[in-house]
Amino acid sequence: MLQSMSYNAAGKHDFIAFKLAEQDFCIDIGLVREIRGWTPATVVPHAPDYIKGVINLRGAVVAVVDLSARLGFGPSTPTQRHVVIITLHQGRVVGLLADLVSDIVSADEMQMQPVPDLAADPAREFITGMITFEDGRILRKIDLAQLMPTPQEVPV
């Protein structure tokens, strides 16, 4: 299990970085509780297509969001190299299905940039910022609040 802290010793933010369809994304490490290998999930009836189902996390029922599907890259077929990033956000535990985690990276405020005003890309609404690196790499910061279906989206 990773430690939950947003600032590292150098006063920078730490992020978990991962790849999706050849693009780099990241999440504030403070929101991440642990990273697990993929295990088959139980299907949730009537769920949006980006909900892979629910898994058992030490006795708690946790929904797994397929990030690829959620960000508009199409549904992924989970394999051994997929991981589930367990996050805790606003009291809700959510698993994020992602390709192998690539890195833990540090960045300071100077490296953060707002998202350019792009046309209506499905991914746009889930990305709250860009983190740039000297080597030209760009990380897209994901906003967890937007990922889960809102109550209206869950059909009742």
Partner 1 sequence: MAVPDDFREMFFVECGELLESLANGLREMEEPGYDKETVHAVFRAAHSIKGGAAAFALTALVTFAHRFETALDQIRSDRLLPDARVMAVMHRCSDCLADLVGAARQEDEPNTAQMTALLDELDRLSGEDKTGFGFVPLALDLSPPVPASGLVIRFAPQPDLYLSGNDPLALIHALRRLGPAEVALDASAVPLLEDWTADECHLRWTVTLTGNIAPEVIATVFEFVEDCCEIGISPLSADSLPAAEEPASFTPVPILLAVESAGDPADETAIAEPASGPGPQAARAVAAEAGATIRVNLDRVDRLMNMIGELVIKEAMLSQVIDTVGLSDNLDVAAGLDGIRQLADEIQDSVMAIRAQPLKLVFQRMHRILREASEATAKPARLITLGEQTEVDKTMIERLVDPLTHMIRNSVDHGLEDEVTRQRRGKPAQGTVTLSAAHRSGRVQIEVSDDGGGIDRGRVREIAESRGLIAPGTVLTPTEIDQLLFLPGFSSKQEVSAISGRGVGLDVVRREIMALGGRIMIHSVEGQGSTFSIALPLTLAVLEGMLIQLCDQTMVLPITSVQETLRPAPSALHGIGQAGRVVANRGDLIPIIDLGCIFGLRDQRASLDDGVLIVVETDSQRRAALHVDGIVDQRQVVIKSLEENYGRVAGVSAATILGDGKIALIIDPEEIVLSCAGDAGLVPRVLSANG
Q: Does 54 engage in binding with partner 1 (CB under 8 A)?
A: yes
> What distance in Å separates the CA atoms of residue 73 and residue 21, rounded to the nearest whole number?
7
Q: Give the 3-state secondary structure of residue 67.
A: helix
Stretch that binds partner 1, among 6-14, 19-27, 92-100, 135-143 (CB under 8 A): 92-100
Q: Does 151 engage in binding with partner 1 (CB under 8 A)?
A: yes
Q: Give the 3-state secondary structure of residue 111.
A: helix
Q: Does 48 engage in binding with partner 1 (CB under 8 A)?
A: no
In terms of Cβ atoms closer than 10 Å to its own Cβ (0-12, 13-18, 19+), residue 149 is: middle
Report the candidate in 89, 71, 113 with the shortest Cα–Cα distance to residue 6: 89
Among 17, 26, 41, 83, binds partner 1 (CB under 8 A): 41
Q: Does 93 engage in binding with partner 1 (CB under 8 A)?
A: yes
Other Cβ atoms less than 10 A from the Cβ of 75: the count is: 13
Site for partner 1 in 59-88 (CB under 8 A): 59-63
- Report yes or no: 53 and 64 within 8 Å, Cβ to Cβ: yes
Among 29, 69, 83, 94, binds partner 1 (CB under 8 A): 94
Q: How far is the CB of 91 from partner 1 (least distance, A)?
A: 9
Q: How many residues does the chain have?
A: 156
The residues that touch partner 1, with contacts defined as CB under 8 A, are 40-47, 51, 53-56, 59-63, 92-94, 148-149, 151, 154-156
